[in-house]
Amino acid sequence: MHTDLPEEQLRDYRSGLREPADFDQFWADTLADARACDVPVAVTPVTSPLSTVEVSDVTLPGFAGQPVRAWLRRPAGADRPLPTVVQYVGYGGGRGHPLENLLWASAGFAHLQLDTRGQGSGWSRGDTPDPAAAGPEVPGVVTRGIDDPRRYYYRRLYTDAVRAVDAACDLPMVDPDRIAVLGQSQGGGMALAVAALVPRVRALVSHVPFLCDIPRAVLVTDAHPYREIRDYLAVHRDREEQVLHTVGYVDGVAFARRATAPARFSVALMDEIVPPSTVYAAVNEYRGRAELSVWRYNGHEAGGIDDDAAAVEFLRRTLGG
């Protein structure tokens, strides 16, 4: 059922998010430090039974130069640089199996699917640890390091996401002028952040993005993963101000205010995991041209294959064949 604002109010909803004063400098310094780590990208072909898609195992430098895994898939026999989709994964998942997620390569794109540090056992396997110290946290990763923006988990994860685009630009099968970022839920929030942080990104696809308008989300849903923040504050009652300050550095609304690439979003009005108002908060602040699919009778699965089909058409139109 609908548990958020009525649809007519959602269309006009605006977030009251207050960004940290040093938001832009924080991310400029973070990415400069990561890019100063001169670690090469390793690409190893994977033997597979596929005849139409070639798969490679990629290791790229992420936050602090730490190794992050990814799969690179591309149409078999492609002899020129291709428009490229860099994909990020939903909460609890990792890059999965090399034979999974063949849509993008089958549709003619190079496809770099990033692993998710410290996750990848909830519903899809992963291979990348999160070696940073944690401190007190609710099970999951949303509160890992949440008392300090510089130690916060999502600072590391978003940096990995940016560095995946950097790595893609150096691959010979990738056209660096035709790169899109894409994801759903947590992956959609990551893609939105990267679209703001990497100006060369040509297109964004963000389905039901997690981590937007976080202060509101924590108050209006009882579902995980936002529940992790609520549970943390229920114990650490004196840390609300610091926690909200930290998450301000990773909130999708702040990134939406800076991103200009053509974008496609989706929202589901029966979504208990990502409240619809938080998606509208990002869409209504988005600086670039944005289109939105509204799924009135769906939960967090949103449009499913219909979202995928629309995304293929959108990226072909935006990036070219």
Residue 2 lies in a domain: no
Q: Which of 15, 56, 185, 266 is catalytic?
A: 185
> What is residue 122's predicted lDDT score, i.e. its pLDDT?
81
Residue 132 lies in a domain: yes
Q: Which of 166, 175, 213, 271 is catalytic?
A: 271
Residue 26 lies in a domain: yes
Q: Which of 24, 147, 300, 308 is catalytic?
A: 300
Active site residue 266: no
Task: Characterize the bridge pairing of strands 110-114 and 67-75.
Answer: antiparallel
pLDDT tens by residue, the chain, 321 residues: 888 999 999 999 999 999 999 999 999 999 999 999 989 999 999 999 999 999 999 999 999 999 999 999 999 999 999 999 999 999 999 999 999 999 999 999 999 999 999 998 787 899 999 998 667 888 899 999 999 999 999 999 999 999 999 999 999 999 999 999 999 999 999 999 999 999 999 999 999 999 999 999 999 999 999 999 999 999 999 999 999 999 999 999 999 999 999 999 999 999 999 999 999 999 999 999 999 999 999 999 999 999 999 999 999 999 986
Instruction: Specify the number of domains making up the chain.
Output: 1
Active site residue 147: no
User: Two tokens at 57?
Assistant: 């195992």
258 - beta bridge partners? none
Active site residue 185: yes
CATH code at position 227: 3.40.50.1820
> What is residue 138's predicted lDDT score, i.e. its pLDDT?
85
> What is residue 137's predicted lDDT score, i.e. its pLDDT?
85
Whether the CB-CB separation of 280 and 71 falls below 8 Å is answered with no
Domain containing 20 equals 7-319
Rounded Cα distance between 6 and 12, Å, is 11
Whether the CB-CB separation of 281 and 253 falls below 8 Å is answered with yes
Residue 145 lies in a domain: yes
Rounded Cα distance between 92 and 149, Å, is 22
Residue 1 lies in a domain: no
Contacts of 213 (CB under 8 A, 6+ apart): 15, 17, 251, 252, 253, 277, 278, 281, 282
> What is residue 302's predicted lDDT score, i.e. its pLDDT?
98
